[in-house]
Structure 1
Amino acid sequence: MTDFAPRIVVTQDDFDLGAEAEALEAGPDTGAVVTFTGRVRNVADGLHHMEIEHYPGMTERALTEIAEQAAARWPLSGITVIHRYGALRPGARIMMVATASRHRDAAFEAASFLMDYLKSRAPFWKKEVTGAGADWVDAKDSDEDALARWSDTGT
């Protein structure tokens, strides 16, 4: 069991990357903080915006559960997962995963584990809105393959 509660935020608001990372650095046993930030990419047809939907309550529970799995697998001193929803224009931040640990390997592995989960299993629905219309975005086979590696290794 860990001695910290993962920080899980689902919001329409932007967030401060530096402040979030700095909060994880504050732990006395923290020797490494790994962060990943996802941004809205433009698409060939000229993305107007991406619409991200979720079910309040269910989404936070699912993100908390996966963060707790990461905390049980690796010796971490902190986890932050922030995911935005609503209409986001190209270049906007969508999400952030940050992990803190005494050593870098655990922080990197846990961050990668969390990212693989978010890409394929987190309960968010994304729609790309372009001048040509709107299309829902599905998880890619490569995202599923990345997630599968965590069940194969037993890490």
Structure 2
Amino acid sequence: MMQDRIVVQQPDFDVPAEYARIATDNSDGAIVTFVGKVRDFNDGSAVTDLTLEHYPGMTEAVLQQITAQARERWPLNFVTIIHRVGTMTLGEQIVFIGVSSAHRKAAFAACEFLIDFLKTKAPFWKLEGVGADKRWVDARDADEQAAQAWEQGS
């Protein structure tokens, strides 16, 4: 019973409810989740808020594509990706990734793969509040390197 849930939305998400959605199949021995949050710093500067913009339609298509790539690599059952857009304050949740599989190694690897590729391939744009200023955030070299490692078969 493989199921994908790909959502881009402004409202917050409920982690226990999302976990419950992917924890329904007794053949799954592993469920791995990841939640990304707005933190109070980036590149040595204090951050006050984060605004995420996206390209509707294209964003969901890219998320579906990376989900399909994860399914080609690992035996997955449920995959959920929820990504928020709009302005968020410190500590707010940005992204939820949930993966279920019969085995933990597949679930852990797929979850890490999904966030690495989401950070580098999905068309999201980040605008950070830094005091009274705002600045656009480029992709990090570490994120690019993580995605490249997956592409090279690590």
AA at the equivalent of 1:8: I
The number of residue pairs the alignment matches comes to 152
Question: How many Å separate the matches in 2 of 1:45 and 1:23?
Answer: 37
Which residue does 2:114 correspond to in 1?
114
Question: How many Å separate the matches in 1 of 2:68 and 2:28?
Answer: 18
Alignment partner for residue 18 of structure 2, among 12, 20, 23? 20
Cα offset for 1:47?
2.5
Task: Kindly report which structure 2 residues correspond to 1:27-46, keeping only aligned pairs within 5 A, or say none.
Answer: 27-43=25-41, 45-46=45-46
Contact 2:126 2:137 survives alignment (8 Å): yes
Which residue does 1:83 correspond to in 2?
83
Which residue does 1:147 correspond to in 2?
147
Task: Kindly report which structure 2 residues correspond to 1:59-70, keeping only aligned pairs within 5 A, or say none.
Answer: 59-70=59-70
TM-score (norm 2): 0.93
Query: Within the alignment, does 1:137 sit opposite 2:131 as a pair?
Result: no
AA at the equivalent of 1:14: D
- Percent identity between the two aligned chains: 46
SS of equivalent to 1:6: strand
Question: How many Å separate the matches in 1 of 2:75 and 2:47?
Answer: 40
Question: How many Å separate the matches in 1 of 2:84 and 2:7?
Answer: 8
Question: How many Å separate the matches in 2 of 1:45 and 1:117?
Answer: 25
SS of equivalent to 2:119: helix
TM-score (norm 1): 0.93
AA at the equivalent of 2:122: A
Unaligned runs of 5+ in 2: none
